[in-house]
Chains A and B, each alone.
Chain A
Amino acid sequence: MSSNPQTDPALEALVGQKYRHGFVTDIESDTVPPGLDEDVIRLISRKKSEPEFMLEWRLKSFRHWLTMREPHWAHLRVAPIDYQGISYYSAPKSKANAPKSIEEVDPKLLETYDKLGIPLHERARLAGVAVDAVFDSVSVATTFKERLAKAGVIFCSFSEAVRNHPELIERYLGSVVAYTDNFFATLNSAVFSDGSFVYVPKGVRCPMELSTYFRINAANTGQFERTLIVADEGSYVSYLEGCTAPMRDENQLHAAVVELVALDNAQIKYSTVQNWYPGDEQGRGGIYNFVTKRGECRGANSKISWTQVETGSAITWKYPSCILTGENSVGEFYSVAVTNNYQQADTGTKMIHIGRNTRSTIVSKGISAGHAQNSYRGLVKILPSATNARNFTQCDSLLMGDQCGAHTFPYMEVRTPTASVEHEATTSKIGDDQLFYCLSRGISEEDAVNMIVNGFCKAVFKELPMEFAVEAQNLLAVSLEGAVG
């Protein structure tokens, strides 16, 4: 009858669960040797047959990056990263150039995505969701292209967009996250390899959920993808990204940038299920996930909503943010961040209110188990121009065991007297009382913990598209089974 959750057998079983996506695909890759200089950047640009403006932008970014320092303000312990020890480009070797259709994709790659539960065949079970799959540095397949094209929606790999829609890229790339923004975003701007691009034209409601699955496979490579979503006036799009990686003893760097632009009356819903390899029980290996995600509600009455379920990565450093420029625009951030073993997360959001009557909502749920450290860091900034702006913030932390930590760093800058800002925060331990209550009704400890954790996260899960809410719940079970109370 031990009351110490550290020795709780259900918790042990939960923690002991193995990462399910840790396999390596044995596939021939075209990988450039480790190291970073202007030649490597030229090589990446050449491999992608990019127009001149793109190369110039990359070089400009790289030169700026050389003047920058790695940030260390987050509540994280990060082992030194050798930026010259990383390979900045790895692509599955294909017989010809890029595959023109699904049928031309290497069957081994298709198998990989099947293993991950992401069938790429358009006839497959996940019908109704268009998928772009990014394997190491390149996009290997985008499904449902034709149906989307009929609606006028452009959904393709970033490389394709650079070649086929250079005017859109030139106009919007870096318009939300400038190439000078921060160390990791600047590095990404210099070396980004691929990612997804979405453009939804005026008045179009995207006929299906769009999603991208990112997979790091090759060893010693970094993944630097870039996503750009532009929702033109009066349009709507819901987009989901998922991420996995093999189990490796060394840390791998993932530094992505996501930019969202919502024009007048447009809505973007962006959901993430992040399950990069978190490292083993001793904290060896795992992905360093240093990501810059930002959306701008540029138009009046526009809305950007971020929902994230973060269960993976050794270290997570990300703050999906909204710049609320347009009048009456709305920003939302719903987050579940789970850390176990020696995982660390410093995550949250920034809501920058510029336009009048702008509103933002932040709901953050942090769950810590094992020796993990979980921090919420959020900024609510209301400029003098944002009269009648409103924000509501709720941050809840759940601790399992007594070796982990939860931290909250809320920052508020309110520069107009008409603004209203509310902040609520709670920290609770997985309650022995809650657990015992469930047990006394005949429910097993494992089911009870699951139930309690899922209840804790409910406010966030209900924001996920239906198809992925179940996936998120299962992920949570794998990451923590039975550890909440």
Chain B
Amino acid sequence: MLKIENLQVKAGDKQILKGLNLEVKAGEVHAIMGPNGSGKSTLVQVLAGREGYEVTGGTATYNGKDLLAMAPEERAREGVFLAFQYPVEIPGVNNVYLLKAGLNAIRKHRGEAEVDAFEFLSLVREKMKLMQMDESFLNRGVNEGFSGGEKKRNEILQMAVLEPALALLDETDSGLDIDALRVVANGVNSLRRQDRAILMVTHYQRLLDYIEPDRVHVLSGGQILKSGDKSLALELEKRGYDWIRQGAAAA
């Protein structure tokens, strides 16, 4: 579904990704771990089409298409979703209104009929139950005055409604207490499907206790230095990142 080859990305004068390779197949959940500043967030932001980065080499192919050539809204309509690490507040814009506009833009792109207000509301209510969000979310502005945990829940609510083929989760666990983490993880797990891939970026093994990955990658210095199954995450928890970095330097 997603194939990244030798991806090189600059932000300003700084080379952040230095030849990254990664392949994610439909039905798989991949976790990318790594120390601060290793380029984890840059990777998902570039995949979603954020401005301010310069791709200096390599490719990212999504379902056979050149992902990097597509405008951000095109990527979303083709089924790419980014759950933000820091979801932005948009004052005065209704949370649900934005979500409905997004869903209808995606449906239109697929040649499907737009959903009306009633259908949409019942869909959102159902998903809100899943995320244990109360009705007041329907009337609030986008992330306006949301706590950190509410913002993260709202991201996964959006994912549940938009039903992407490829979900990119950027530190979805950061800032969550254990109860909120469980709710968010349950939400993500309920969205695991054979035709959907999930790529999550995280600092902590803790998230992987709840969302079990098929593959774990260590991103450091702009490259994937090591890949393995979920046991790699446990080993990282125990030993940190230095042994991998040293191993890479020695190689």
Contact = CB atoms under 8 A, between A and B. Distances in A.
Bind each other: yes
Interface of A: 1-3, 431-434, 436-445, 447, 451-452, 454-459
Contacts of B50: 436
A434 B86 CA distance: 11
14 contacts: A437-B87, A438-B102, A439-B73, A440-B75, A440-B82, A441-B99, A441-B105, A442-B73, A443-B76, A443-B102, A444-B73, A458-B91, A458-B92, A459-B92
Given A437-B88, A455-B91, A3 B52 contact: yes
Contact of B158 (A434, A439, A441, A456): A441
Nearest to A447: B101
B92 A444 contact: no
A442 B109 contact: yes
A443 B109 CA distance: 11
Interface residues of B, number: 35
B27 interface: no
A477 to B, nearest CB: 14
B188 interface: no
A245 to B, nearest CB: 30
A19 B165 CA distance: 43
Contact of B98 (A3, A441, A457, A459): A441
B90 A437 contact: yes
A3 B12 CA distance: 12
Given A441-B102, A443-B98, A1 B90 contact: no
B51 A455 contact: no
A456 B91 CA distance: 6
B92 A442 contact: no
Interface of B: 48-54, 71-73, 75-77, 81-82, 84, 87-88, 90-93, 97-99, 101-103, 105-106, 109, 141-142, 158, 162
A485 to B, nearest CB: 9
Contacts of B90: 434, 437-438, 451-452, 455
Given A441-B98, A442-B106, A445-B73, 9 more contacts: A433-B88, A437-B87, A438-B90, A439-B71, A442-B73, A442-B103, A442-B162, A443-B102, A451-B90
Contacts of A447: 101, 105
A309 to B, nearest CB: 15
Nearest to A436: B50
B91 A440 contact: no
A2 B84 CA distance: 21
Given A440-B76, A443-B102, A452 B93 contact: yes
Given A442-B76, A442-B162, A455-B92, A432 B87 contact: no
A455 B93 contact: yes
A442 B105 contact: yes
A interface SS class: helix
Contacts of B91: 455-456, 458
A443 B72 CA distance: 9
A438 B72 CA distance: 9
A222 B48 CA distance: 54
Contacts of B53: 1
Sorted nearest first, the 3 A-B pairs with minimum C-beta distance are: A455-B92, A441-B102, A455-B93
A167 B196 CA distance: 78
B98 A451 contact: yes
A438 B71 contact: no
B61 to A, nearest CB: 18
A437 B76 CA distance: 11
A443 B101 contact: yes
A437 B73 CA distance: 10
A447 B162 CA distance: 18
A442 B77 contact: yes
B72 A436 contact: yes
B172 to A, nearest CB: 15
Contacts of A438: 90, 98, 102
A455 B106 contact: no
B86 to A, nearest CB: 8
Candidate in A431, A442, A445 with the most chain B CB atoms within 10 angstroms? A442
B92 A454 contact: yes
A2 B141 contact: no
A434 B81 CA distance: 16
B143 to A, nearest CB: 9
A432 B77 contact: no
Candidate in A438, A451, A457 with the most chain B CB atoms within 10 angstroms? A438
Contact of B51 (A1, A451, A456, A458): A1
Given A438-B98, A441-B162, A447-B101, A457 B73 contact: no
Contacts of A456: 91-92
A440 B51 contact: no
A443 B73 contact: yes
A456 B105 CA distance: 22
Nearest to A456: B92
A457 B92 contact: yes
A274 to B, nearest CB: 22
A459 B91 CA distance: 10
Contacts of B109: 442
B219 to A, nearest CB: 21
Contacts of A458: 91-92
Nearest to A426: B91
B24 to A, nearest CB: 18
A433 B106 CA distance: 20
B188 to A, nearest CB: 18
A441 B73 CA distance: 7
A301 B145 CA distance: 35
B101 A440 contact: no
Nearest to B168: A440
Nearest to A441: B102
A452 B98 CA distance: 10
Nearest to B81: A440
A454 B72 CA distance: 22
Contacts of B72: 436, 439-440
A437 B142 CA distance: 10
A448 to B, nearest CB: 8
Nearest to A432: B51
A142 to B, nearest CB: 37
Contacts of A2: 51
Contacts of B71: 439
A3 B76 contact: no
A440 B141 CA distance: 17
Contacts of B54: 1
A251 B60 CA distance: 54
A308 B226 CA distance: 61
Nearest to A396: B91
A457 B92 CA distance: 8
